[in-house]
Amino acid sequence: MYCLSDEQIDYILNDIRRNGVEMEDLQLNLLDHICCIIEQELKEGDDFEHFYQQTVRRFYRNNLREIEEETIDLLTFKNYYAMKKALIVSGASSVTAFIAGSFFKFMYWPGASILLTLGIVSFSLLFLPLLFILKSREVKTVSDKFVIAIGILVGIMFSLAILFIMMHWPGANILLFSAIGGAAFVLLPTYFFTGIRRPETKLNTILMSIILVGVIGLQFTIARLRPSPFDKVATANFVQNEALLKVLVPSQPSEAAAGIYKTCTELKELLLRQAVGATAIPADYDERKLYLHDSKLGDAFFDNGPGVQLLTTLKEQAKQFNSGAQNGVMVIGAGMPALVDDPQRVSHNYGCISLLNSIEQLQIYVAVADAKNTTAAK
Amino acid sequence: MIFSSELIKGTLKTIVLKLLSDNKKMYGYEITQRVKDLTGDRIQLTEGALYPTLHSLEEEGLVTTELEYMGKRVRKYYKLSASGKTRSKERVSELAEFMETMRVLLDIQPKIA
């Protein structure tokens, strides 16, 4: 039996590593295996290196790395069915949550936002990445893999953009435009030019490209590139009214009026945080194109949220104000739009701008009424 | 006659599981030698097929491993786990049934000794 020296063992191990076998387990297995063969078959005095090269040559067709690739393939293939199952389950549950969430939102039922968020997050961060892993294994060429990667990436960005828009999170528009831009300028050209070259995929590629152009075009049409001119005027009006209010509100208002101001301020802050991400319209709103728009009310105005509670408080405070106004010089009429009939259902009849304006108007009215009543009392 | 690798590929796991159920623990080289001996050189497992299979059996939890340090080398012994023992029996009887079915399908006359 041939006796291998430590140097020879190192030589073999280094050669295995140099040939691209990276898994340590596999390196050790192959090292031991080769050593066994050499010990059994090599005779004392034979050329070690020559024999080694011949032995290792029997292990593979093209290169030694094949063994490692085959191992990895076998290991991942085992997970293939589990992944496929996970793909279907995550896809189906995301879509169910998403559709149920939309329906809940439509019906103003509680839990709509949670369902929608869960649905979109699992769709974009679970289903789509899994889809990428499985689909990219099915194609052979690098360009096909690239097209799939870009397609999935655009999909993730697009669905997250929808979530951001829905939740009024900052960065929604950047995400949406990156997704549309990525689809139009990266996905579409790469998809088109990889597919058109192969005769068997030519027709499908052309058809799919047309559909893709159509969808991107439609998306582009509904995307708000520029704020609507109405929003600009509405924002300017609001800013003017705020300035007017500052002048009208006395430094020492009556107790009843002070309560109303406080509630109104809290309500406005709630609405503004949702609309522009701050508790007041910034002075440079025009340069920053930071306009209000009459979007739907946020979650605070559903299901007895803080907005609903504040509106209820406001009605109480208006009643107190009226009972305190001696001789009834100037009372708050029950028809004032800020005194919402049913605060629970405020989101049915008001948008962001209309509610803001109503509150603003009430504050101005109270400021004037309060001043008049105080003078009359004297 | 040496059998084609396609034929061996589908039965490799069964061969390894059966060998391990007959022997307490074995290492890679030993497995190839044993198969060679038992089949009179007619089945020669290639290293390129054997090691990926052993790794995947390990991943599936059908075999457990044990390392033996021999100077600069490490020898990895494989032995059946509890689930591996059950699977070994299942695979062998499945293959036996498959062979019987193939015999009928391909209309192979049993050789009369």
* Tens of pLDDT, residues A16-47: 999 888 888 888 899 999 999 998 888 887 88
Alpha carbon distance B26, A137 (integer Å): 34
**Dihedral class, residue A45 (left if φ above 0, else alpha if ψ from -120 to 50, else beta):** left
Across chain A, what does the average pLDDT equal? Answer: 86
Give me the residue from B53, B56, B76 closest to A32, CB to CB. Answer: B76
> Is the ipTM above a cut-off of 0.85?
yes
Reported as a single tens digit per residue, the pLDDT across A161-198 is 988 887 767 788 889 889 989 999 999 999 999 888 88
Of B43-47, B71-75, B78-82, highest mean pLDDT = B78-82
Give the angle subtended at the CA of B101 by the CAs of B43 and A81, to the nearest 5°: 75
Cβ contact (<8 Å) for B51 and A36? no
Cβ contact (<8 Å) for B51 and A67? yes
CB pairs under 8 A between A and B: 67
pLDDT reported for residue A227:
64
For chain A, the residues whose C-beta falls within 8 A of a C-beta of chain B are 6, 9-10, 13, 25-26, 28-33, 35-37, 58-61, 66-67, 70-71, 73-75, 78
| Residue A373 near residue A330, CB atoms below 8 Å | yes
B79's enclosing H/E stretch is strand B73-80
pLDDT band at A326 (very low <50, low <70, confident <90, very high): low
- Quick one: which of A147, A135, A154, A152 has its CA closest to A194? A147
pLDDT band at A311 (very low <50, low <70, confident <90, very high): very high
pLDDT reported for residue A132:
92
Residue recorded with tokens 């289903």:
A127
Higher pLDDT, A139 or A307: A307
Give me the residue from A9, A13, A37 closest to B29, CB to CB. Answer: A37
* pLDDT > 90 in chain A, percent: 34
| Residue A338 near residue A365, CB atoms below 8 Å | no
pLDDT reported for residue B46:
87
| Summary count for chain A: helices (H), strands (E) | 15, 0
Cβ contact (<8 Å) for B73 and A9? yes
pLDDT band at A292 (very low <50, low <70, confident <90, very high): confident
Cβ contact (<8 Å) for B55 and A74? yes
Q: Which residues pair with B67 in a beta bridge?
A: B76
pLDDT band at A305 (very low <50, low <70, confident <90, very high): confident
Please state the rounded mean pLDDT for residues B6-33: 91
Cβ contact (<8 Å) for B59 and A78? yes
Using the predicted structure, report yes or no on whether residue B7 has a pLDDT greater than 70. Answer: yes
Mutate to test the interface with A, among B29, B30, B50, B76 (most CBs of A within 10 A): B29
- Quick one: which of A292, A286, A290 has its CA closest to A268? A292
In angstroms, the separation between the Cα of residue B45 and the nearest Cα of chain A is 10
> What residue ranges define each of the domains in chain B, with the CATH number in brackets?
5-105 (1.10.10.10)
Reported as a single tens digit per residue, the pLDDT across A198-253 is 887 888 889 999 998 998 888 878 766 666 778 889 899 999 999 999 888 888 88
pLDDT band at A58 (very low <50, low <70, confident <90, very high): confident
pLDDT reported for residue A78:
64
Please give the C-alpha separations between residue A196 and each of A7, A136, A145, A321, A365, in angstroms, as whole numbers.
56, 19, 16, 74, 68
Q: Which residues of B touch A29 (CB under 8 A)?
A: 28, 51, 54, 76
Give me the residue from A10, A37, A66 closest to B48, CB to CB. Answer: A66
| Residue A260 near residue A307, CB atoms below 8 Å | no
Mutate to test the interface with B, among A11, A29, A64 (most CBs of B within 10 A): A29
